[in-house]
Amino acid sequence: MSRADALLGALRRRTRKHRRRGGILMYHCITEESVDPWAICVSPQAFDEQMAVLAQARAAVDLADFAGGAGRTRSGDRVAVTFDDGYVDNLTAALPVLEKYEIPATIFVIGHAVGRTREFWWDALHSALLGSGPLPQVLDFPFGEGRVFTLEEKPGDSAANIGWRADDAGEDTPRQRLFRELWDIIVVLEPAEQDEATDFLMEWAGHVPATPPSRVAVDAEQFARIAEHPLISLGSHTLDHVSLTDLSPQRQHTQIGAGHRMIEELSGRPVTRFSYPYGRFDDGARTAVRDLGIDIACTSVPLPTIVDDDPRALPRLQATEMNGDRFARWLGEDYGLLSRSR
Ligand SMILES: [Zn+2]
C-alpha cells in the first residue's frame, strides 16, 4: 500500500466515523502559470469551472458557517472558499467569478503585504531558480548559517520545471534540489533578510528583479475594495507571513496579534478569521489565536471538516488546476463531498 493509499484509507475511515460537515477550499493565485512548484495557481478558466460546480450543487457557504454550526448538515454538501496571502488577482480575476455565481469567500491577508510593491520571497525564489536561464555553477549563499552550493546542470533541465511539484517524491534536477534547500533556509529568516536573500539570488541568477503585475498583494485602495465587498470576508495571516512553529510563544503572539489588528484597522471592522502561514501551527500558535479572541483559524491539513474539529485548527483542501469535471471527481471520490448532488 502506498503512502497515498494509506492516507486516503485513513481519511475515509475518519469521514465514516464522523458526520461530515463539508470542506474548506484553499486557493492562492488565480492566474495562468506553467511553473508552479507549490501548485498555488489556478487559471481563471479552471476557477470559473470549479465555482460553477459549487454553484450547481448549491454547496457554497461562508466559512463562519463551519464554526458556527450552520455547516452541520447531514449531506456534508457544504463547501467554503478561502484565499491566502491577498494577491491582487483575487480582486481582478477571482472576484468577478465569485460575483457571477454569488459565492462568498474569505481572503486571508498578510498585514505588512498590503501596499507592498515587490513580490513575496517565495515568488522571487521561484523566478530566480525555476524561471531563469543557465545559472552560475557556484552559489556562495551567505544567509542562514551560510553555505556554498555547487550546481551541475544538464542541458534541458529547465524544461523539467514545467509541472514540477516541490513536494512530490521523485527525481529532482540539481536546480530543483537547490530550490528546495534554499526555500528551507529562507523560510526561517527574518522578513527583511528574506528580501535581501532573494535580491541576492536574483543578482546571482542574472535577473533584473521585475515583478509581474499579478504577483503582488493588494494595495490600500484594492484592499478597501475587497473589504467592502458583500461576498468577501477578510481574515488575517500574521504580520509578515512567518513560520510560526519556528518562533517563541511571545513572538507568535506578536505576529498573529499585530497582523490581526492591522487587518481590522485597515478594514475598519472586527475580523474573526485567521489562517496559519505555510499551514504551520502548534499548540503555542493555537493558544495565541484563542487568547487574541479569534474564532476561526484554518490550517492546510488536507482533510474535510467534521463536527468535532477545533474551530481554531480547521483543515483545508488545496484546490489546484483542474477543470470542472476533475474538480467534482476530486471532491467526490477523495473526500466524499458533493457526490450526492451530481
Ligand atoms: Zn500564505
Q: Is pLDDT of 233 > 70? A: yes
Alpha carbon of 109 to ligand 1 centroid (Å)? 8
Q: Is pLDDT of 249 > 50? A: yes
What's the gap between Cα 49 and its chain centre?
Answer: 20
Alpha carbon of 287 to ligand 1 centroid (Å)? 20
pLDDT band, residue 73 (cuts 50/70/90): very low
CA distances from 150 to 139, 187, 204 (A): 6, 21, 13
Query: What is this structure's pTM?
Result: 0.91
Alpha carbon of 339 to ligand 1 centroid (Å)? 30
Mean model confidence pLDDT for the chain: 89
Alpha carbon of 83 to ligand 1 centroid (Å)? 9
167, 150 Cβ separation under 8 angstroms:
no
Alpha carbon of 315 to ligand 1 centroid (Å)? 15
Q: Which three cell numbers stand for residue 117?
A: 510593491
CATH of 3-117+216-341, one of 3.20.20.370, 1.10.238.10, 3.20.20.70, 3.40.50.1780: 3.20.20.370
Alpha carbon of 300 to ligand 1 centroid (Å)? 10
Three-class secondary structure of residue 334 per DSSP: helix
Residue ranges of the alpha helices (H) in 144-282? 174-186, 191-205, 220-227, 249-267
pLDDT band, residue 252 (cuts 50/70/90): very high
Q: Is pLDDT of 1 > 50? A: no
Q: What's the pLDDT score for residue 164? A: 87
265, 111 Cβ separation under 8 angstroms:
no
Q: Which three cell numbers stand for residue 120?
A: 513575496
Q: What's the pLDDT score for residue 162? A: 84
Q: What's the pLDDT score for residue 290? A: 96
Q: Read off the pLDDT of residues 262-291 as tens digits, 9 standing for 90 and up.
A: 999 999 999 999 999 999 999 999 999 999
Q: Which three cell numbers stand for residue 168?
A: 512530490
Q: What's the pLDDT score for residue 16? A: 47
Alpha carbon of 126 to ligand 1 centroid (Å)? 15
Kindly list the protein residues that place their beta carbon closer than 5 angstroms to ligand 1, a single-atom ion: 84-85, 277
- Of residues 142 and 2, more confidently modeled: 142
Q: Read off the pLDDT of residues 5-53 as tens digits, 9 standing for 90 and up.
A: 666 656 655 554 555 668 999 999 999 988 899 999 999 999 999 999 9
CA nearest neighbour of 212 among 309, 126, 154? 126
Q: Read off the pLDDT of residues 169-225 as tens digits, 9 standing for 90 and up.
A: 778 899 999 999 999 999 999 999 999 999 999 999 996 656 677 789 999 999 999
Over range 99-120, report the average pLDDT: 95
Q: What's the pLDDT score for residue 309? A: 84
Please give the share of the chain, as a percent, with pLDDT higher than 70.
Answer: 88
Please give the share of the chain, as a percent, with pLDDT higher than 90.
Answer: 69
Alpha carbon of 17 to ligand 1 centroid (Å)? 31
DSSP-derived pairing of the beta strands 305-306 and 20-27: antiparallel
Contacts of 131 (CB under 8 A, 6+ apart): 35, 161
What's the gap between Cα 197 and its chain centre?
Answer: 22
Return the domain boundaries, the chain: 3-117+216-341, 121-205
Three-class secondary structure of residue 292 per DSSP: coil
Alpha carbon of 49 to ligand 1 centroid (Å)? 24
Q: Is pLDDT of 244 > 70? A: yes
Entry field: residues in the chain: 342
CA distances from 325 to 57, 115, 234, 322, 331 (A): 13, 37, 29, 8, 10
